[in-house]
Amino acid sequence: MADFWADADRHLVRYAGRADFTREIIARAEGSFVVTEDGRRILDFTSGQMSAILGHSHPEIVAAVRRQAATLDHLFSGMLSRPVVDLARRLAGTLPSPLEKVLLLTTGAESNEAAIRMAKLVTGGHEIVSFARSWHGMTQAAAGATYSAGRKGYGPAAPGNFALPVPHSDWRPQLDVGFEMIDAQSVGSLAACIVEPILSSGGVIEPPPGYLAALHEKCRERGMLLILDEAQTGLCRTGSWYAFERDGVVPDILTLSKTLGAGLPLAAVVTSAEIEQAAHDRGYLFFTTHVSDPLPAAVGNVVLDVLTRDRLDERARYLGTVLRHGLDQIAGNHEVVADVRGRGLLAGLELVSDDLGRRVTRRCLELGLHMNIVQLPGMGGVFRIAPPLTASEDEITLGLSILDQAIGDAVKTGSKGA
């Protein structure tokens, strides 16, 4: 083990800001648990990187990977296979009209890059609006629209990026003022607004009902396209197939990733035939090495199979009520919990102190629970809780019990240190 960490510390580039790698060697994973090399089981309350909605090593995904890798895994980008066309057709079938044109890619940043590039080409504009606590990825255009982290020290961002305040309860005047500021700064070249229906990396913040519809109208008034990034909320996690369904809004462009591949690299851009035609007429170009690859597309088809057959939207709604009830009880037990929020199996628990959040995270891991905490200016720290949709009620209860104990232990440790 000492050699492993010596090699890791010597040879790996650290890519998570100031955060360190978790000091556990993960050997395998199954269902809702990851297992360390020494056999310790850790309950995964983040679904890997907020992605493994069917849990780890789901047998049907394992079988699909083996089968597809043995027959057809990768092609020249201009060639097509049945898994790709099948997934495009089936994905369109889960969405409202006019969303029917699909581009299959690998990562969320890539899908957002492709969507922004399409919006710029179709509208003729270049200015992009996004939330002040947004996370859309680390590639150029996606990073330009990301405000929650990673902006400092890398030189100028792409010109024409504007931040919109994260909505609060009195959102109508806030939205009006936000666009007054955008209009004042714009050079008359607004192309798109890209937002998450629930800001995950921004602290699990859900815009109030009516906000997305009003935002869409602001976009229409200015000839902008509305891009919704459902990397973490799409495919049943919030209790419906897509988080935007609650608001009765249909985006001009939808981006999917994380949950679409259930932990494997698969992403999509979905738009209307009209927008796709306009982009094509203008010579839309987004070649990537793994665009329309058959192997991840085959996995995506299995993900849709399982979500539909097992009614995982309904399951996420039910387990979401169990999770929320338990989190509310934890909030009642500990004064250091400032808020509980979220929808379905994407929940946020906000603590009042940055240092406390770090201690709770460490204690959870010691007790066998993996948690992720978002720490942003003005927030004490928000746990993003997103267990697999396939988790059992007992596993949800176990995780809540560990979290409750970890908060209590961390509070005691902190008071002794004081």
Handedness of CA 139, 143, 145, 146 (dihedral sign): positive
Which is catalytic among the residues 229, 276, 293, 395? 229
Q: Rounded to whole angstroms, how far apart are CA atoms 237 and 247? A: 16
State both tokens at 384: 């993003």
Would you call 232 a catalytic residue per the annotation?
yes
Task: For residue 169, give every residue at least 6 positions away whose Cβ sits within 8 Å of its Cβ, in sequence order, or none.
Answer: 208
Task: For residue 49, give every residue at least 6 positions away whose Cβ sits within 8 Å of its Cβ, in sequence order, or none.
Answer: 258, 263
DSSP state of 227: E
DSSP state of 136: -
Q: Rounded to whole angstroms, how far apart are CA atoms 173 and 292? A: 43
Task: For residue 251, give every residue at least 6 positions away whose Cβ sits within 8 Å of its Cβ, in sequence order, or none.
Answer: 99, 216, 226, 227, 228, 244
Which is catalytic among the residues 120, 343, 363, 384? 384
Which is catalytic among the residues 127, 230, 232, 241? 232
Would you call 229 a catalytic residue per the annotation?
yes
Which is catalytic among the residues 101, 133, 258, 343? 258
Which is catalytic among the residues 196, 252, 293, 313? 196
| Contact between residue 98 and residue 89 where contact means Cβ atoms under 8 Å apart | no
Q: Quick one: residue 263, left, alpha or beta (phi over 0 = left, psi -120 to 50 = alpha)?
A: left
| Contact between residue 164 and residue 193 where contact means Cβ atoms under 8 Å apart | yes
* Residue whose entry in the numeric block shows the structure tokens 């629930």: 198
Which is catalytic among the residues 101, 120, 135, 247? 135
The DSSP bridge partners found for residue 29 are 34
**Enzyme catalytic residues:** 135, 196, 229, 232, 258, 384
